[in-house]
Structure 1
Amino acid sequence: MSSEERLAQLERKVQYLTDRQEIYDCLVRTSRGNDRFDVDLIVGSYHPDGLHELGQNLIPGPEYGDYANNGHAAMCDINMHTVCMHSCDIDGDVAHAESYVLGMFADRGGETSRMLAGRYLDRLEKRDGEWKIALRRTTVEVVMEGKAVLPNGATPPGSGYVKGSRDRSDPSYQRPLAPEGGERW
């Protein structure tokens, strides 16, 4: 194999890995935006004509941030989304991804909680050099309900942990991250 062929092969691999990471970063951004009620993070992950299919509802991507925040605020005090296993097929500037997701929700009042397990089935497109969601289909395949341990007003085990918040006052936005500050359990 010539030097040019090896270099071309290496460039293709680097581009594939770069695209794959940018796709994953886009998907994680939407979940972080959901949990921090950061509309800009959510909406910025969708193309202007992107769609989010949620059950039988088809929500335009630019409207999904407010839609998600209103829904989460109405049903729970805390929500956390975790993007788990992720597979991705990239064909040029179009990618199809399947990502397992766990959603954990402390219901209003903090006495009960739910965990939903499902998948994000995404078609992403790279436009103007940026990967964003063109269509997201969400599945829900497992739902568990039970007593909430946090936050229910009682001192949790290992108290003293920093509390998170659903806005930009959350410690994850602190730059630089410092050891002091933050409301604690």
Structure 2
Amino acid sequence: MTTTDIDLEALRRDLQYVKDKIEIRDLIHTQARGHDRHDVSLMTSVYTDDGVDEHGPTVKAAADYGDWANAAHSAAFDQHSHNITTHTCEIDGDVAHSESYVIVQARRGNALIMMGGRYIERRDGTWKIALRRCTVEWTLQGDGSALKSGNFTGFIKGSWDPNDVSYARPLTQDDTNIERW
């Protein structure tokens, strides 16, 4: 095949499409990580300046969302993890419509709670979230006392601040500010 046989413009479009989808998915993952680290700057970095987040009856401007989410999560849970699973994204020029399924595991004392829902996003002009609407589809509650049973002794606990091991650069075995089960 010669370069005259290759449709370079089609190749550029396809590459841009793949790049755009990856950037959008990365925004969704960044926001989830921000939740789990209680990192307001990560949470709010994914929204447009006039972005809006709707979580049930609570609707917040992007700039106010992170502080509200941290307070709400801290009041309800000791730990949580937002896991993004199925992610679809339709790109139409400068607008993207995406849907991301989320499974949240949360712990409060010995109670474990799981819930599933979806985040639905759109954007205009730049790959940031202009509007996020959250659904809750199901919940499951169980006993989390196994975490304190001794079977997990020595495992690192996650934390809701920059002391979390995921922030370490470079990653070392330094245990300063690390809490373990």
CA RMSD in angstroms, aligned pairs only: 1.7
Query: Is there any run of 5+ residues in structure 2 with no aligned partner, and where?
Result: none
> SS at the partner of 1:3?
coil
TM-score by length of 2: 0.92
> After the TM superposition, which residues 1-185 of structure 1 pair with which residues of structure 2 at under 5 Å, given as runs?
3=4, 6-107=7-108, 110-127=109-126, 131-149=127-145, 151=147, 153-155=148-150, 157-181=151-175, 182-185=178-181
Q: What's the offset of the Cα at 1:2?
A: 7.1
- How many residues in Structure 1 have an aligned counterpart in Structure 2? 178
Deviations 1:74-103 (Å, cap 9, x if unpaired)?
001001100001000011121000111001
Runs of 4+ in structure 1 off by over 6 angstroms are none
Cα displacement (A) at 1:62: 1.0
**What do residues 119-167 of structure 1 show as CA deviations (whole Å, max 9, x unaligned)?**
111112343xxx110000100001111211464x442x24322111100
Secondary structure of the residue aligned to 1:165 is: coil
User: Partners of 1:14 and 1:135 in 2: how far apart?
Assistant: 26
Equivalents in 1 of 2:72, 2:159: separation in Å? 17
Task: Give the fraction of aligned pairs with identical amino acids, expressed as a percent.
Answer: 42
Report the residue type matching 1:143 in the other structure: T
- In 2, the alpha carbon distance for the partners of 1:183 and 1:143 equals 29
* Amino acid in the other structure paired with 1:37: H
Structure 1 residues 179 and 126, CA gap change in structure 2 (3 angstroms): farther
* Structure 1, gaps ≥5 residues long: none
Change (3 A) 1:150 1:67: farther
Task: Give me the whole-angstrom Cα distance separating, in 1, the residues matched to 2:82 and 2:119.
Answer: 11
Query: 1:34-60 CA deviation, whole Å, 9 max, x = no partner?
Result: 110000000111111001111122111
Distance 2:6 2:122 in 1: 31
The alpha-carbon distance between structure 1 residues 11 and 58, as it changes in their structure 2 partners (threshold 3 A), is: same
Q: Match of 1:137, SS? A: strand
Q: Per the alignment, in what secondary structure is the counterpart of residue 161 of structure 2?
A: coil
